[in-house]
Every structure is written in structure tokens, then in C-alpha cells.
Structure 1
Amino acid sequence: MRRSRRARSALLGAQQPGGRAADRGDARRGGDAVTDLTVSVVVVSRGRPDALARCIAGIVRLHYPSFEIVVVADRPGRRKLDTLPDVFNRIKIVACDEANISVARNLGIAHAAGEIVAFIDDDAVPEPLWLDHLVQGFGDPRVEAATGYVIGPDGINFQHRITEARPDGTGRPIRTDGKTIRLLQPSEDGAIKTEGTNMAFRRDTLLELGGFDPVFRFYLDETDLDMRVALAGGITAAAPLAQVHHAMAGSAQRRDDRVPSSLTDVGRSLAVFVRRYLSDGEWARAGRAERQRRRKSLISHMVAGRIEPRDVRRILSTFDAGWSEGSKLEPDPIPLLRSEDAEFLGFRASVRQPGHRIVAGRTWQSREKHADALRLAEQGWTVTLFLISPTSRPHHAAYANKMYWCQRGGLFGRSTRQEPHRRSWRFDARIRAEQLRLSPVRGSPPAEVDKH
């Protein structure tokens, strides 16, 4: 796979003008879905056992026919897994008590046996057709990596789409139509960014490149790997319909309200990253620019009342400390990635019925409709429950009871940000519109819809 950028350009054609990412076309057209590739789904978890249980509850209901689950977790996470009957003795559990996401992900790769290794964070839940869309691009042998869209905490609108990573640690958006899988080549000095909570790589590529560099304990770990994939000549498949819901739960780095607890690892990783990919005269400028962006973000949190003025200075000082440490580091060469030659532990998903069942009702029917949705989910269906009020309240969605999806909002309220704030709807028409929006990521429902 290893090719210089010059060789890669000769193989794939000239760069797009203006230094933009080049589009190498659609993924396979007209053929069957790529379902013969085995996939290892790796979940790294530290300090969030309840979030991990919710994530696993979503993974076990994926539609993809051939995947295994590899969980790399600390002691609380491993104990939580022992209490989940759906996965007991059916998944691979790897111990990791070190606070280093690159080390943990490399352990997951070492125990993975799938041809494709997919990654999702422990505070995320995948849509049922996530793997079907994410793996599709690998039908083209040039594709070494894939990524998709990330849905934010409201359960509907996107937090991340497709981005080109720059050598200064920033990114710039790449336009897609939101549906078609595109095969993308980065500009000469960039990479197609994979989102850490929604990405996949060929296992052979990960082993060849050494996986994730342990010098990145947190932040820019996947971006560094993306840069190495680009340098080696790999193409990345951008799959907009490969979607995961990211709750952004609290961690050692940030609180539940997204206020950073510490920016030490951010500053440290950024310093290592820009020193690796920028010239000496450029990397200090990149550090100053990122510090200013972080300062503006902290001031926004202060204005919102989440932190006090003294917290702005205190948290910024942790960025400075991390930057200072990273500026002095002389990272070791990326170590060879160890492989355990593990056997593939195929997981038989909990979804046993084809299609996507819709349960819809008014908010005052909540108890009855939740019971209906739970009953169908226990029968093995993918289920979405809609609870609609006679208002203009915006919609939000969540994974309810770790079994089915629940979307709430007003009959006249918008679901996506692209819609008007208020629009006249009949109940049946609104449910059909929402079902049509969700079908590409959850599947099409049978003819009947359970609504009253």
C-alpha cells in the first residue's frame, strides 16, 4: 500500500484546483451491498460503564450480517459487561486501565479478526444500518478507510459531517449530497478526516501503518492516522448514511455540559501533531491560533454561566502546559502493532425481523405507546416511536430503554435545522415524512404503521 504522494497522484490523477480534496467518484454502483466482508467493531471505554452498556445495546441490534464486538475497557466497564446477558460470552473483552486512547485502540486492533475494523465511542449509539453503509466503500480495492456522519445530542441534527484534515490540526468541510458514498483523495498536504466515533479501516492497513501512535493519549489520534493513510496513498470512502448518535458524555477531559475540565492533552497532542506535519516556522503559529480558538470557546461558556472568569485563565493554563510538554517531546518511532491472530467471534444480532416498525401516537399516549414499542423490539424488530404534541416544539430523539428509538416534538415543529420553525401538518403526513427521512439509516417499514 505504501506510495509517496507523487506516486499516488500518478495513480489516481491530478489534484483538484485550489488544493481541495479530489472526488474519485461513487462507490460501487448497481451491485449488491458489500456484506461478505467481516467487520470487527471496536469500542474503547474508560470511566463510563453506563454509557458503554447503552452503546453495546445499539451495536447488538445492527443489521449487518457478519461482525464481532471487541470492547477495550477499564475495570468498571468490564464489570458492567458481565451484567449484560445479551453479550455474556459472546463478545471479546480486553482489559486496559491506561488513560491512553491510542494504546486502547491498538489493543482492540490486536484482538480483532475482521477484514475491516470499525470504531465507535462508548458514548455513541449506531443507527441500525451503520455498518451496511460504512463498509460499502471497501468494495473498491483502493479504499483503505471510511467515515460517516455524526449526529449530535439532540438525536437528529449533525455534529460532524465530512472534513479534510489540515497539517495545522484544523479542518475544512467537504460538500456531499448527504446520501451518496464518495471516494475521496485529499489535497497534497491534507487527509480525509475520519471521526473517531465513526470510522473504519482495513485491518491490513492498520497493521502495516502501526495503528494509532501512543504519543497521542487523547486528541488528534485518528487524525494522525488519517495523515499516514493519505501519505501511503490510501483513499477514504465518505459514507453520509453511515450514522451514529454521539451523546458527548462527560470524561476526564470534559464535563457533561461540554466545558473542558483540562486542555493538557489537547495542547500536548497538537504540539506533537504540528511539529510532525508543519515546518519549523509554521507550527508555533498554529499553536497560537488554536489557543485563541479555545479562549473564545471558554469565554462563550463563561457568558452562558457555565464557568467563572477565573476558570478561563485556569483552563487555558492547562493548554499552555500541554503545549510546552508536547513541544519538547521527541516521540519514538511508531511501534510495530502486535496481532493476537484471534479467531473471528461472529455476533448474531438481536434484530430477527426484517424491516423497521413505526409506532406513533400523541404525547398523552406515552405509556401505552412505549409498551407497544418495547413489545415489538423484544420480538426482534427495529422500532421507532413517535410521540407528537399539538405544538411547535422542535423535535429530539434518543435511544429509549436500550431497545428502540423515541422521537418527541410538536406536530408543527421542525426536526432538522433546515426546516422552517413552524409548518402546518396533518398527523399522518408528519409521521410519513419522518419515516421517509429515517428509512435510509433504519430501514423501510412494513405496509402497516401502528398509530392512533
Structure 2
Amino acid sequence: MTTTPVSATLESGVPVSIVIVSRNRPEALRRCLTGVELLQYAPFEVIVVADPAGITVARDMVFAEALKLVTYDRPNISAARNLGIAEAAGEVVAFIDDDAVPEPLWLRHLLEPAQRPGVAAMTGFVRGRNGISFQYRARQLNALGEPENLDVDPETPSILPPARGAIKTEGTNMAFRRDVLVEVGGFDPAFHYYLDETDLNMRLARAGHATAIVPLAEVHHGFAANAMRSANRVPRDLFDIGASWAVFHRKHLAPQDRAAQWAYLRAAERRRLLRHLISGGLEPSDVPRLLRRLDEGHAEGLKRPIVSTTVPRTTNSPFCPFPARPRRSVAIFTRPIKLARDRAKAAKQAQAGEIVTLISLSPTALYHRVAFDPTHAIWLQTGGIFGKSARDDAVFRLRRRCDRLKREVKRVARQRGFSDDRSR
């Protein structure tokens, strides 16, 4: 069974430059770029700042000639992002991590507040590795740089003025007006990893700029492994976290407050390591080793140069529009016994230019999972007819199969391009 596809149109808006930084994760980058190809927005351009392996993957994509490629192979995400900004010719610069995939209408929603007076930054919601639960929603930063949850309307943008303090933008789902990035100096390269956008958020609020939280601008983030953490988020090295906190405190905290705040944060990191030890993610010898690296990083961060950074007011290269095309969004409903057959059908429809969601439900109470399949460029949702697909769902709820399928299409209608009444 298939939904009636929605007529395909590209949303036109302000020119956007998407910057993707990648290092040591070429296959994650391939998946991200495959998802970016499905975006229903124009005009946008894509800038990939990556190590040689990532550049090779980008050059293998069918749309490689439309990409701006910057080779950079150092572990400094702030410097890499600044290189991306230097190449960005859009009025707005958007950022997504290489281990994330955007929903097809991500840019439509994210950029909706861009023309409102005073709005300089935009950020959306982030779903976790099961594709259902949220990793991040709305958060505000306190004076110490720590995030605190915010209650916002879950369907419409919230414009938050700087008078209420800095608003946290999520690094894997954020956008800024380029002229404002030029004004504040972009990202501070003293933050090699961690707190890079937090520092920028603090500076934006201090400069009097508002931030928009846009819940329907969703990306799916997988937490791929890197030098600092494993794929299941177990710490591998805390050096850069310690260094970044030292830099942050030097920039944003009064001298008399820094020692006490560092002691508090160090104790919190120790508790986090002990939780991983109890759950089996770490060995007993890992805890003192990681705390030692945290302290070494903090000591280095106390000496790390903090200099005023600049990004060029004029872009290094002209706008290079990505060949986005209007695509109809369609859902295919199947059962586990027919999944292989219908996956092949879904792949053919995706190859023909449609955005395909394949929903396979069993007569069980299994929790739902959503994943983007980069091999076939389709969205796959699995679970039980009676199982949870939202955090506030009951663990078991008796439903008819057809009602459940309609509900799941409606749940993602505005993110993926369905109209709410098109399923049958």
C-alpha cells in the first residue's frame, strides 16, 4: 500500500550555504551528502571541508561538480568551519555534521525566520540514533555556559531576544546570517573541539542578536565515533574538553569564579566516567587515565592563545547552486515478510526521483526505529503496530493497522513533505 504522492515543488528563499566538516569519517559523509541531495529548497550550495578521504568521497558523488571542496586535515572544527564560511556565498550559512542526515524540508523550516528583524541565528531539533527520540530540543545557556532546557511551541518558530540570554544552537543543526558571522569573527579556533558554538552563542547574545528555535527543522544525528568518543558515546579522550572549558572560562567568567566552576565540572566528568565504568563501557584503569587527560587539557587551555579572528567580508568564491530538484514524497507500507521485496520497490522509486518512506510494521508492540538508508536513499521505519513511536506514547496501545500507518505518515508529514490527509 502506498500513499498518494504530494505534488513536488521547491521552496524558494534566501540563498543558503551549507557547510559540512568531516574528518576520518568518509562513509558518514557519504550518507550525509546523500540526504542533502533530497533537500526541497532553493537556492543552496554545499561546501565540504574535509580530510583527503572525505574529499575523495565527495568527488565520487554524482553531483560532485556542484560541490565546493576544501581540503583540511587538522583536528580543529572551529578553524574548519571558518574555512567553510570563507567560501560561503549565501546570505545564510547553515551547518550540519557529517554523521547527520537532514529531513527533506530541513532548510524550508530552518530558514523561515531568517528575514525577521533582529534574527541572526536559527537552530532546530535533533533526533537521536533511533530516529524517534530527540537528542536535543530547545536550550538556553546560563552565565556559566551550561545548557538549560527551554519550553517552546513544538510546531512553530520561537524568536528569543538577546535580553533573555544566550540561546544554544546545536552544532549539527544551526544557521547564521553570514554578515553577522563576519561581524563577530566567526568561530574561535581556540576551541578545537567542544564549546565552539557555545562560545559563539554567548558572543551573539552580547552583541544584541536574536536566535530562532525552529522545532520542525529536524536532522537525524548518529553520534559516529571520533577520537574523543566511541560510537556509543563512551569517552576516549577528555583533553579537548578540558582545554575548551579553560578557554571558555577565560573568555566568559570573572577570574574569581573560574576555579570553583572548574572543580564543579571536573567532578561532573568524574561521575560520568564512573557511570560508564559501572555499565561496562570503561575499564577501572581508564578512569584515572581520562581524568589525567582532562587535567592536561585544562592546563593547556589556560595557556592557549586567544586572538581575535576574522572571516572575509567578501566570499572567496561565487555562489555555486546545488542542482536541487522538486521531488514527490511517497510512503510505502509493508510487513516484515515482504520487506525485502518492497525495499527493492522503494529503491526504484527513489532512483526515479521520489522521496520514499518505507514503513514496515509487525503485529507486535516493538518500539519504532527510523533510519536513512544511504544505499537506496530511502527512509525506513520499523516497529510494531501497537508499539511506541513517540516518547509520550503508551508502551502498548491497541490500534488498527491502517490507522497506525496513517498516524505515522502524519507524524512526519511536515518534515518529509507529506500533506496530512494523503495516506490511504
Shorter-chain TM range is: over 0.9
Deviations 1:228-266 (A, max 9, x none): 111111010110000000000001111111111111111
Residue 35 (structure 1) aligned with residue 12 (structure 2): yes
Task: Verify the 8 A CA contact 1:100 1:218 in the aligned structure 2.
Answer: yes
What one-letter code is carried by the residue in structure 1 that aligns with 2:153? D
Give the corresponding residue for 1:16.
none
Note if contact 1:394-1:409 (Cα within 8 Å) is conserved in structure 2.
Answer: yes
The Cα of 1:449 is off from its aligned counterpart by 4.9
Once the two structures are superposed, residues 75-116 of structure 1 have per-residue CA deviations (whole angstroms, 9 ceiling, x without a partner) of: 11011112222x221111111112110110000000010010
Which residue number corresponds to residue 430 of structure 1?
A: 404
Larger RCO (alpha carbons 8 Å, 6+ apart): 2
Instruction: Give 1:448 deviation, angstroms.
Output: 6.3
Question: Contact (CA 8 Å) 2:409, 2:423: kept in 1 or not?
Answer: no
- Correspondence for 2:267 among 260, 268, 292: 292
Match among 352, 358, 361 for residue 388 of structure 1? 361
Q: 1:83 — aligned with what?
A: 60
Instruction: Give deviations 1:355-382, integer Å, cap 9, x for gaps.
Output: x201011111111110121122112111
What amino acid is aligned across from residue 174 of structure 1 in structure 2?
L
Give the unaligned 5+ runs of structure 2.
1-9
**Structure 2 match to 1:375:** 348
How much does 1:446 deviate?
Answer: 9.3
Given residue 415 of structure 2, which amino acid in structure 1 is its aligned partner?
V
| Residue equivalent to 2:158 | 182
Provide the C-alpha distance between the structure 2 equivalents of 1:446 and 1:383, rounded to a whole number of angstroms: 16
Shift of 1:389: 1.1
Structure 1 counterpart of 2:395:
421
Is 2:287 the partner of 1:312? yes
Q: Distance in 1 between matches of 2:349 and 2:137?
A: 32
Match of 1:103 in 2: 79
Question: Which letter does structure 2 place at the counterpart of 1:78?
Answer: I
> 1:5-404 alignment to 2 at 5 Å?
35-85=12-62, 87-187=63-163, 190-337=165-312, 339-349=314-324, 351-354=325-328, 356-400=329-373, 401-404=375-378
- 1:185/1:192 contact within 8 Å kept: no
Summarize deviations over 1:392-449 as a string: whole Å, max 9, x none: 1101110013511000001111011111111111111001011111001111159765
Q: Secondary structure at the match of 1:258?
A: coil
Query: Once the two structures are aligned, what percentage of the paired residues are identical?
Result: 43
How many Å apart are 1:353 and its aligned residue? 2.9
The normalised TM-score by structure 2 is 0.94
1:113-166 CA distance string (max 9 Å, x none): 001000000000000010001100112031111001011011111000111122
Q: Residues of 1 paired with 2:289 and 2:259: CA distance?
A: 21
What SS does the aligned partner of 1:37 have? Answer: strand
Give per-residue Cα distances to partners, 1:258-293, cap 9 Å, x unaligned. 111111111101111122111112122221221122
- CA distance 1:43–1:402, change in 2 (3 Å): farther
Shift of 1:35: 3.1
1:56, 1:302 → 2: CA distance?
36
Contact kept? 1:267, 1:319, Cα under 8 Å: yes
SS in 2 for 1:193: coil
Q: How many residues align?
A: 414
Report which stretch shifted further, 250-259 or 372-381.
Answer: 372-381
Distance 2:125 2:173 in 1: 7
Structure 1 unmatched runs, 5+: 1-32
Q: Is the 8 A contact 1:268 1:326 kept in 2?
A: yes
The alignment status of 1:411 with 2:388, answered yes or no, reads no
Distance in 2 between residues matched to 1:347 and 1:207, nearest whole Å: 24
Letter in 1 for 2:339: S
Per-residue CA deviation, residues 188-209 of structure 1 (Å, 9 max, x unaligned), is: 6x31111000000001111111
| In 2: Cα distance, 1:447 partner to 1:285 partner | 56
